[in-house]
Amino acid sequence: LIQLFEFGNQSGVVLNRASFDVPTSPIALAGFSKTRENIGDFRGKLENDSLFQGVRFLLSDIVSSAQGFSFTLSVSRTSSNTR
């Protein structure tokens, strides 16, 4: 989970929730960013890192507000990273 928050910090994204049921289940994330581009950068970091696979993210998962953009996505850990 630390890597997720580091990617968020590097991308200008604040993660305010990360949850999962068991080590092999996908991680559900919710966060906020001032720009859509920062969210895209965060997604790219997840997709390009060998610790993670199966990033599920739709443009409809972004909600615009006067302060910026809230979003949700889910990501799975690679099978060698679930222990």
* b/e 18-30 (16+ beta carbons within 10 angstroms → b): eebeeeeebbebe
SS3 for 77? strand
Please name every residue paired with 53 in a beta bridge, in sequence order, or none if there are none: 76
Please give the pLDDT value at position 70: 96
pLDDT tens by residue, 27-38: 999 999 999 999
Please check the confidence at residue 81 and state whether its pLDDT lies above 60. Answer: no
**Residues near 66 by beta carbon (within 8 Å), at least 6 away in sequence:** none
- What pLDDT score was predicted for residue 78? 84
Q: Tell me the whole-structure pTM to 2 decimals.
A: 0.85
